[in-house]
Structure 1
Amino acid sequence: MTKTYLHDKFLSIILKYNNLSKPLSILLAVSGGKDSLCLIKLIEDFNNIYNYFDTIQYIYIDHQWRNDSKQNIQHLLNYIDITNNQIYIYQISKVHMSESTIRKIRYQIILKHATKYKIRFIFTGHNQTDQLETFLLNLIRGTGVEGLSSLPFIRHIKNYIQIIRPLINIRTGDISWFCHKFNLPVWSDKTNYYYSNYRNRIRYELLPYLKEYFSPKIEYNIINFLKLSSIENEYIKQNAIKLYISSRHSYYLAIHYKTIKDQHLALQKRVLNIFFYYNFNKFLNGNIINQLTQYLHRKNEIEVSIIWEDLKIRIYRYWIYIQ
């Protein structure tokens, strides 16, 4: 096997991550693109030497958006067959859905599959360019600090499942070089060139424009900003979790808001978000969060009720609880 610096980088990533103690089973979410084929080769080469993974499964979600989707699947099946590992193909039957809806469904399918086969680690081929594009997309949509680093190296999911992105610090140009060097059969997805897709416009128009007219180091600067933001965001997150644990009721679904009302607004909002996501799997919208934080500082003790979706939120005697 010919080793490259990407092999060395991948090796250091796997060996430095303490939770990946061998042997273990992993699930790789793949397509026929260069990121997926690069990740497949790195995984297979790594495992041939170190025998690190007990089971390697591949999963592909067919959106049925393209008229060549069947040929793409067959191409992927032929390539995975060389690895002697199993691939699972899932199809999304409704084709007329938004990209964000499709993305949610795709993750639901992948997580359900991982849960069914008791696989704790899901690997995806997201790279550094994906991170840049996601940052700019979320920034345009008006995200908060949490959304700036929405593609971290590791994301912990319920049921102890973790999503790992080992290529997240690798540039797309390096991945293209790797695929050319090993003659990997990359399947060209023509939807990646449709300018009706915002991500494609960012990739082929906005980022080159910023690089040309604002700073040739714009990608490096954004990545550096994301690293700093991630550190600060993690600090806020850890403090919010501690505050949530100390403020929640030991039996009822309630938060003692007197415990959190003198804390910084950023922590108050985080605690409220943790409460509703952990107990009801719901993300609070900005309007509801603003209402709740305003009620925390009211002077009278009048009971307040807020109807949000299918929940009745009540605030009384220093408690926020769900009836």
Structure 2
Amino acid sequence: MRPLEAALINSWSPVDWADCTVLVAVSGGADSVALLRALVAIRKSGTGRLIVAHIDHNLRDDSADDAHFVQQLADQLQVPAVLGKVEIDLTDEPDGVEAAARAARYDFLQAIAQQQGARYVVTAHTADDQVETLLQRILRGTSVAGLSGIPRAREFAPGISLLRPMLAIRRSEVEAYLAELGQAFRHDATNDQSDFFRNRLRNELLPLLRENYLPQVDQSLLRLAAGAEECRQFVTAQAEQLLDAACEQESASQVTLDARRLAAADPFLATEACILLWRRRGWSRQEMGREKWKALLALVGADSPAPIELPGQIRAEKKGEQLMLTPPS
């Protein structure tokens, strides 16, 4: 067995998904091609299926060639493939285009996963992606949770998990695996350009740091992510306990919390409990920045405060020792 396949088995045992439908996101690049080849090689017999999903963002003249390559690879491996195409607004700034493409990609994957009855959606993020993400977040500013980097797994949709089983595998291992197989892959030339912030990190800043400052910068950032993830898990567990204890009543129209419990808790933990509530309820956190969370906690600790309106038209009102959160009807 080849080293990358063994590493993938260690990360995600084939026994766990033998009877599940797994949707594999394949761009045609080295990482996703290696993921598909390895999954096909290690899968166990069962009732589950592997399905390839590819979306053409139509951002390059040769993007249709990527789709053709992925279809041919899927046919060669006897794996069904679902291909899609989207139009991205190219008038945005480069990083805006990248964000729009990512959003379109995940919307496509979610729709196909639901359509195909997939239990898992797997992507080919590697340890190198983790390093780039961490450095990007550090430079732009992030929380302790952000320092934990790309999560290995998260809920993607009801009953569907998004999984990144190659997150501990380096890109050099991917390239060695494909070379050993003699497997071709597509190269996205836009990754060599420095129009995108992330590309500048990959092509300019990280090589500079490795050569002139800290040769082991990648390992240092990965250790930071591991430590931050341990911290995040602990804080999340504490926040869940606080939220469960503080939640007095919950319905589709309103959530009532014990303001005394929240006010008595450490402000950081109380904020994390509120963030967890927002996540559970599916309320938008896009505009709930630091100042909004501080305003909510100030309301919790105030005497007879006026109600406040939070992003997403969430009305927060304190009555006696109760905090009422009311979403729009």
TM-score exceeds 0.5: yes
Distance 1:76 1:267, change over 3 A: same
Give, in whole Å, the separation in 2 of the partners of 1:78 and 1:90.
15
1:8 counterpart residue number: 6
Is the Cα contact below 8 Å between 2:300 and 2:323 reproduced in 1? no
Contact 1:305 1:315 in 2 (8 A): no
Assess, with a 3 A threshold, how the Cα gap between structure 1 residues 210 and 276 changes in structure 2: closer, same or farther: same
Instruction: Report the Cα distance in structure 2 between the residues aligned to 1:52 and 1:34, rounded to whole angstroms.
Output: 27
Structure 2 stretches of 5 or more lacking a match?
A: none
Residue 164 of structure 2 corresponds to which residue in structure 1?
165
Change in 2 beyond 3 A, CA 1:205/1:53 = farther
1:277 is the counterpart of 2:271: no
TM-score w.r.t. length of structure 2: 0.90
Secondary structure of the residue aligned to 1:150 is coil
**Equivalence map 1:1-323=2 (5 Å):** 3-15=1-13, 20=16, 22-47=18-43, 50-51=44-45, 54-96=48-90, 98=96, 99-251=98-250, 252-283=254-285, 284-298=288-302, 300-323=303-326
> Are the aligned partners of 2:125 and 2:166 in contact in 1 as well (CA < 8 Å)?
yes
* Kept after mapping to 1: 8 A contact 2:88/2:101: no
For 1:166, the aligned partner's letter is P
CA distance in 2, matches of 1:25, 1:92: 25
Aligned equivalents of 1:66 and 1:31: distance in 2?
A: 13
Rounded Cα–Cα distance in structure 1 between residues aligned with 2:47 and 2:224: 34
Q: CA 1:34–1:288 in structure 2 vs 1: closer, same or farther (change >3 Å)?
A: same
Give, in whole Å, the separation in 1 of the partners of 2:105 and 2:17: 28
1:52 CA displacement: 5.1
CA–CA distance in structure 2, aligned partners of residues 118 and 26 of structure 1: 9
**Structure-2 separation of matches of 1:116 and 1:60:** 15
* SS of residue paired to 1:195: coil
Conserved in 2, the CA contact under 8 Å of 1:304 and 1:316? no
8 A Cα contact 2:23 2:121, kept in partner: yes
Structure-2 change in CA distance of 1:125 and 1:314 (3 Å): same
The TM-score normalised by the length of structure 1 is: 0.92
DSSP-derived class of the 2:12 partner: helix
Name the aligned partner's letter for residue 40 of structure 1: L
Residue type of the alignment partner of 1:256: D
Asked whether the equivalents of residues 303 and 316 of structure 1 are also in contact (C-alpha less than 8 Å), the reply is no
Which letter maps to 2:40? E
Mapped to 2, the partners of 1:146 and 1:316 lie a distance apart of 32
Aligned length: 316
- Report if the CA contact (8 A) 1:65-1:95 is conserved: no
CA offsets 1:2-25 (integer angstroms, 9 cap, x no match): x2111211122222x98x253211
Give the Cα–Cα distance (whole angstroms) in 2 for the partners of residues 11 and 277 of structure 1: 32
Q: Distance in 2 between matches of 1:317 and 1:237?
A: 28
Summarize the Cα distance change of 1:94–1:157 in structure 2 as closer, same or farther, 3 Å threshold.
closer
Indicate the percent of aligned positions where both proteins have the same amino acid: 20
Q: State the one-letter code of the partner of 2:274.
A: L
Which ranges of structure 1 fall in alignment gaps of 5 or more residues?
none
The alignment yields a C-alpha RMSD, in angstroms, of 1.8
Using the TM superposition, name which of 188-197 and 282-291 deviates more.
282-291
What is the rounded CA distance, in whole Å, between the counterparts of 1:60 and 1:265 in structure 2?
A: 44
Instruction: Report the AA paired with residue 320 of structure 1.
Output: L
Report the CA distance shift for 1:10/1:307 in structure 2 as closer, same or farther (over 3 A).
closer
CA distance in 1: counterparts of 2:115 and 2:21, whole angstroms: 13
Counterpart CA distance in 1 for 2:261 and 2:196 is 45
Give the superposition deviation at 1:53: 6.5
Contact 1:315 1:321 survives alignment (8 Å)? yes
